[in-house]
Amino acid sequence: MSRGLDQVTAALAQRLGATPGDLSDEHERWALYRRALEDPACLPGLYDAVAVEPDQSVALGIVLHVLGGLPPSERPAWVDRLGTERGRAFAARRAREIGILQSASVTALFADEAVQDPWSDWLQLCLAESSQEPAVLNRFAAAGRTKRIRRLATERERSIRRHSPRTEGA
C-alpha cells in the first residue's frame, strides 16, 4: 500500500471515528469508502482516495457514487482522477448521462435520433423509472434496449396516464 493511500485512508477513518481494519484489503477499503460516501464532509478525502487507490474498480466505484451529487462543473475533475483511460471513459459517459437525467426536458433530446443510440442501459432504465414525459416513456416502451426497460416504461406511462387529471370534455 502506498504512503499516500495510508494517509488518505487513515484520515477518512479518523473523520468517521472508525477503526480502519486491514486496509491492504480492497474490501476493507471499500467498506471505509462506503461509510465515507454517506458523509458529505468526507468528499475531499474521497477525492484524494480516487487518485491513490490501487484498485481501479474501487476508485471507479467511488467516482460513480459521487457524480450524481456534484454540480456539473465539478464532475470532470473527479473523472480525471481515475488512473485508467477505460475508467475515465466510463465515468465521463456516466457524467454525461447524469446531465441528461437532470436536464429540464429529455423530450427535446429525442428530436435527434443519433443522440439516443449510445444511451446506456443504465440511462434508459433510469428514464423508464423516473420520467414524467409521455414521449420518453412511449419511446422506451416501444424501443428500449431490454425487456426490463420496455416493461418499466410501459408501466410508468400507464400509471401516469391513470393518475393525470382529466380535462373536461375529454
In this prediction, residue 165 carries a pLDDT of 73
Do 68 and 151 have their domain in common? Answer: no
Residue ranges, the chain, pLDDT below 70: 1-3, 104-118, 166-170
pLDDT at 167: 47
Residues 139, 60 share a domain: no
Domain that holds residue 125: 105-165
140, 128 contact by CB (below 8 A): yes
Chain centre distance of CA 144: 19
Instruction: Kindly state whether residues 13 and 95 are assigned to the same domain.
Output: yes
Q: What are the phi and psi torsion angles at 123 (to 5°)?
A: -65, -45
* Whole-number pLDDT of residue 119: 81
In a domain, 28, yes or no: yes
Query: pTM for the full model?
Result: 0.80
| Residue 76 located in a structural domain | yes
Which of 102, 128, 145 terminates a domain? The answer is 102
Residue-level pLDDT at 168: 45
pLDDT for res 113: 55
Q: pLDDT digits over 76-111, tens only?
A: 999 999 999 999 999 999 999 998 888 756 666 665
Instruction: Assess if residue 170 is contained within a domain.
Output: no
Question: Is residue 56 a part of any domain in this protein?
Answer: yes
- Asked if residue 48 is part of any domain, the answer here is yes
Cell of 143: 424501443
Determine the Cα–Cα distance for residues 68 and 129; give it in Å rounded to an integer. 16
